[in-house]
Amino acid sequence: MQSTHYISSAVLDLEQIKEILDKGKNIALSDEARVNIQKSRQYLDKKINESTAPVYGINTGFGALCNVKISPEKLTELQENLVKSHACGTGEKIAKPLIKLMLLLKIQSLSYGNSGISLETVNRLVAFFNENILPVIYEQGSLGASGDLAPLAHLALPLIGDGEVYYKEEVMSGGELLDVMGWEPLKLQPKEGLALLNGTQFMSAHAVYALLKSYKWAFLADLVSAVSIDAFDCNLSPFDELVHMIRPHRGQVKTAERIRGFLNGSEIALTEKENVQDPYSFRCVPQVHGATKDTLAFVRKIVKTEINSVTDNPNIFVDEDKIISGGNFHGQPLALGLDYLSIAMAELANISERRIYQLVSGLRNLPNFLVEDPGLNSGFMIPQYTAASIVSQNKQLAVPASVDSIVSSNGQEDHVSMGANSATKNLKIIDNLQTVLAIELFNASQAMHFREPARTSPKISLVLEKFREEVPILRQDVTMAPYIQRAKTFLEKFKIEENYLEV
């Protein structure tokens, strides 16, 4: 029987989201959430019936048109026009896991009862999630300020029989979907379109997805660097616990602990070294990788707050008898956090490329470019070029998007976060990091071959044994690209035994 996660006021965190996605859990509204949603909607309907006073987005236009009053008989049309007119997404289509996350996070935000949405609409979103009906959403179009207007408009279009969805491996129109499911298109009530479109769920879904990936790749960066440390015949003294307890940044301490664990029992590590010190890219792995881990913890706190918040507008406070137009849709916290995360993940690739460079440099009794007959063979010369190219691109992508702002909506929205751009380029940086780490492991495995018969640790030996089933030791020049891809696939599928979300 498929387990169910109940949407409630209980705090939603990364572990729960990972479990929902990994186990394919269904979701359902708790009794608490249903009561909150209905109470808010009933209050709003009462207010609309009792008063003709203008309330933003409920009986007025939007953005710079906020002072245009809309007649009562046009209020449903107003909401549907909002959804259609704001669906201006373009560029690449975002990945299905991101859409699934957007649905989950939008439902969570609407469940608190401060949005005035109807229970029928939220139930339809829940059905989308459980039936794996995923609206087609595009990468570009959000300024990350009035919420993620364009992406969320595409998320909402199928509710009224418009737009496109992925369903059972097909792409179909919103109208076709309704026919297939036997559903009627929703008639959006006052405020509902705004509740659906205002919010930070495009940015926050990207942030959750990026964090889940980043924690995994931060772990794998430690693992791959440990292979390189032994392959380059490094000292283990810089990883001694005593060194890190006198500068006890949590990420630094954890990284050193992992490196010691990975290399425990290595014959290579125990041999007397001719080199007194190692280059920083090896010696300072705890300090550099650790700083990235501490960044993950910082960004995680921001994201945890965001995904457990109400981010549409205006906000409805039933007990206080207030409808307040505020700015919770502004994505600045996420924009800054995602930019910081981009820098931190780019740094893991930066230091990885430096280790690659050292491994192919003909040092520490390793042959030039890690090949037995250099000259006739170029060996691992050009994989380092590839890594350098990728790292350079990451530096460009890591330039903060959040420092930019372009005035929109005739000056009404005069400061925007650009957090959606922070979000999308962050995923490109993480994908680039995966490739650089794959190249490093490819190099380190080859370098370790030249240390034989000296042995590395049991843990690293097991990793290399499995890796070499996919990517063998190279004796002469071959076409390298397929092996780099195999190395990347190996790391993507690598099963991590410990809970890597805990640092």
The catalytic site residues sit at 56
- Asked if 130 and 27 count as a contact pair (C-beta separation under 8 A), the reply is yes
Chain Cα centroid distance, residue 432: 14
d(CA 411, CA 192): 25
Instruction: Give the Cα separation of 340 and 276 in Å (integer).
Output: 35
User: String of b and e for 351-372 (b: at least 16 CB within 10 Å)?
Assistant: bbbbbbebbbeeebebbbbbbe
Residue 495: how many other CB atoms lie within 10 Å: 4
Please tell me what DSSP assigns to residue 28: E
Rounded CA Rg of the chain? 26
Kindly state the tokens that stand for 143.
Answer: 């300024």
Q: Which residue is listed with tokens 């006021």?
A: 9
Cα separation, 258 vs 11, in Å, equals 30
Q: CA-CA distance, 265 to 304, in Å (whole number)?
A: 39
Distance CA 308, CA 19 (A): 17
Strand 26-29 relative to strand 4-7: parallel, antiparallel, unpaired? parallel
Q: What is the SS3 string spanning 74-124? A: HHHHHHHHHHHHHCCCEEEECCHHHHHHHHHHHHHHHCCCCCCCCHHHHHH
Tokens 């090896």: give the residue. 282
The DSSP string of 134-200 is EE--EEE---SSSSSHHHHHHHHGGGGT-SEEEETTEEEEHHHHHHHHT-PPP-PPTTHHHHHHSS-
Q: Which amino acid is at 72?
A: P
Do you find a cis peptide bond into 54, omega within 30 degrees of 0? no
Q: What share of the chain is helix, strand, coil (3-state, %, to 5)?
A: 55, 10, 35
Residue where the block lists tokens 């751009």: 421
